[in-house]
């Protein structure tokens, strides 16, 4: 079983130490109750891989590991076959002892677009939300980060990450946890938080922005990369059943709207640093990812549109900062909970009053409730719904 004890020891004397109050129990519950049906198969592939120490390791310009003398053809083939048991490989590429994992995404292109706009990563503790197989975490380490922590609930990605780590000499500067961000407490301990390719998959995008902010230390930097559409600050695309064949796409704002959302969540120094259309050279089918890819999701007659008729994928990078001074947790709690609790009490009173009125005016009839009762009960409960809406809006 993949062992997380090294990570627990690593953070025990760090600003992340309070995470240990909840994390080990969460991971134990995952190991006990939530393993994917193929997880043991993937884990065995990782176990059979040799632990190799690179003679040359480049994480600054790529993710490349080389041995002093080339591996034998048979040794290399065995490693490649084990890695192919972990297909599909979506984020990369990796070059490991002469084995080139040509992933679906050229994630190195995204990194080159993002890197020039980042604050210096040297010595930083970083959180990568929705990190996939961890490619960008290795690049963060290459750029000087002290520690990169990735979270992603997809268990195949965890096994891919552990496979790469094993071939990089069991490097302990990066760690991947099989969790979603909603499972994290408000750690407020990371110098930089990345969320790349996640926001449009969230049913409540503003909640996601708040969750990201809760992980940042005061003065920390958010790096947000996501799908956007052209338009002003009031433009948000809400796709129907699918967008580019993806079912789980909920909100795609314009870059201007996204900037406004971030400011509404209390971020400062919000700036749009990059925007580009995703090309079929950056996302495509390969030997290591053999199913459909971007070319299959675009209109064959007009690649400026998806097969559903929406604008083709356009991605923006936005950088923002968490202010040095924040409201205390208690103040936030009062602001969020106070009006909601008051509203709920008022709602209960209105509903009780409505039921009393309807009971008093009820006329017996063979069908049960008469029209007078139903009409007034619906009206009273409608007023209650308005107050519920007000309470939710305030809270």
Please report how the helices 205-215 and 255-264 are oriented relative to each other, as an axis angle in degrees rounded to 10.
Answer: 60
Lowest mean pLDDT segment, chosen from 203-217, 308-322, 326-340:
326-340
Average pLDDT score over the chain: 88
Average pLDDT over residues 35-59: 97
Summary count for the chain: helices (H), strands (E): 12, 17
pLDDT at residue 336 greater than cutoff 50: no
What's the predicted TM-score (pTM) here? 0.83
Specify binding-site residues. 91, 105, 110, 130, 152-154, 181-182, 196, 200, 315
Tens digits of per-residue pLDDT, 21-35? Answer: 999 999 999 999 999
Specify binding-site residues for carboxy-S-adenosyl-L-methionine. 91, 105, 110, 130, 152-154, 181-182, 196, 200, 315
| C-alpha span between 296 and 104 (Å, rounded) | 13
117 CB-near residues (< 8 Å, 6+ apart): 273, 274, 317, 319
Average pLDDT over residues 104-129: 99
89 CB-near residues (< 8 Å, 6+ apart): 83, 101, 103, 104, 133, 160, 288, 289
Average pLDDT over residues 209-228: 99
Tokens, residue 161: 């990450």
Lowest mean pLDDT segment, chosen from 101-115, 172-186, 343-357:
343-357
Tokens, residue 98: 């002469």
The predicted structure's pLDDT at residue 326: 63
């Amino acid at each position: 079983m993949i062992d997380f004890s090294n990570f627990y020891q690593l953070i025990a004397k760090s600003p992340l130490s309070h995470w240990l109050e909840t994390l080990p129990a969460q991971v134990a519950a995952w190991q006990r109750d939530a393993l994917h049906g193929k997880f043991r198969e993937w884990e065995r592939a990782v176990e059979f891989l040799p632990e190799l120490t690179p003679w040359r390791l480049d994480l600054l310009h790529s993710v490349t590991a080389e041995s002093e003398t080339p591996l034998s053809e048979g040794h290399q083939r065995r490693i490649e076959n084990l890695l192919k048991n972990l297909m599909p490989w979506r984020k990369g590429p990796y070059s490991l002892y002469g084995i080139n994992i040509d992933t679906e995404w050229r994630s190195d292109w995204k990194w080159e677009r993002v890197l020039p706009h980042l604050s210096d990563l040297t010595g930083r503790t970083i959180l990568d939300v929705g990190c996939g197989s961890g490619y960008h975490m290795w690049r963060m380490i290459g750029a000087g980060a002290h520690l990169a922590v990735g979270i992603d609930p997809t268990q195949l990605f965890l096994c891919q990450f552990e496979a790469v780590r094993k071939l990089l000499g069991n490097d302990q500067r990066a760690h991947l946890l099989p969790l979603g961000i909603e499972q994290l407490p408000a750690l407020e301990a990371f110098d930089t938080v990345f969320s790349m390719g996640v926001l449009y998959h969230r049913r409540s995008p503003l909640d996601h922005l708040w969750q990201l902010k809760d992980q940042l230390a005061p003065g920390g930097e958010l790096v947000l990369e996501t799908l956007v559409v052209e338009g002003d600050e009031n433009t948000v695309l809400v796709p129907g059943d699918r967008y580019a064949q993806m079912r789980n796409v909920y909100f795609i704002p314009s870059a201007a709207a996204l900037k406004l959302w971030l400011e509404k969540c209390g971020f400062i120094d919000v700036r749009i640093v990059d925007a580009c259309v995703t090309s079929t050279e950056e996302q495509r089918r390969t030997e290591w990812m053999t199913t459909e890819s971007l070319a299959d999701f675009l209109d064959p007659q007009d690649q400026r549109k998806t097969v559903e008729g929406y604008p083709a994928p356009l991605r923006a990078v936005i950088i923002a900062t968490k202010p040095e001074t924040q409201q205390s947790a208690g103040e936030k709690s009062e602001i969020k909970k106070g009006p909601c609790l008051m509203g709920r009490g008022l709602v209960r009173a209105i509903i009780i009053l409505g039921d009393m009125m309807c009971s008093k005016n009820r006329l017996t009839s063979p069908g049960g409730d008469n029209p007078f009762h139903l009409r007034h009960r619906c009206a009273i409960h409608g007023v209650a719904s308005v107050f519920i809406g007000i309470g939710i809006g305030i809270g």
